[in-house]
Amino acid sequence: MSEKISFELNGQSITITLSPDHRFLDVLRKHLNIVGPKEGCGEGECGACSVLMDGYIVQSCILPLGSVHGKKIMTIEGYRETKRFKALQDAFLTEGASQCGICTPGMIMATEYLLSHNPHPTDEEIRHGLAGNLCRCTGYNMIIKAIKRAAKEGEGLW
């Protein structure tokens, strides 16, 4: 049975009439044409579908639409309009932290969550912060370098 679900998506108010037992990832990709979040594992382990909900990182492939009602969602599509994104983008490009790219939208959202709570993380703290995001290309070292670079060059943004 469908319900009216209202939430804010990248600053825009959205009301959608759908059954609350849809996966939020499918709602984004299929119904709202938001395709930055990717489906990797589909069971909350790889982080490719990560989005921010009220500022907290969540995995949209295991997030029921019912949990989104009344919340504020930010995906990479909204985040890319920010100065913080620009700092991350420059650092990821410089360090080669994005290769095949499928993990990158989730990795960027996880980095935003990390830096918004801890603007100057150590290597260890970065590894814990990105613990739910898998990358099969970089071996993670380039991503860690990129985040340290962004934290330094984007000083004051977080």
Closest listed residue to residue 62, CA positions, set 77, 73, 48, 74: 48
* Binding positions for other proteins, 56-115, rule CB under 8 A: 56-59, 62-64, 66-67, 69-71, 110, 113-114
Q: Judged by CB under 8 A, does residue 35 bind other proteins?
A: no
CA angle 80, 86, 89 (to 5 degrees): 90
Whole-number Å distance between alpha carbons of 113 and 109:
6
Question: Which one among 8, 14, 16, 20 touches other proteins, defined by CB under 8 A?
Answer: 20
Which residue, 70 or 139, is less far from other proteins as judged by CB?
Answer: 70
Written as one letter, the residue type at 50 is S
- Single out the residue of 11, 12, 19, 141 in contact with other proteins (rule: CB under 8 A): 19
Task: Name which of 96 and 132 has its Cβ closer to other proteins.
Answer: 132
User: What is the enclosing helix (H) or strand (E) of 144?
Assistant: helix 141-153
Rounded Cα gap, residues 128 and 86, in angstroms: 23
Contacting positions for other proteins (CB under 8 A): 1, 3, 5, 19-23, 26, 29-30, 39, 42-45, 47, 50, 53, 56-59, 62-64, 66-67, 69-71, 110, 113-114, 128-129, 131-133
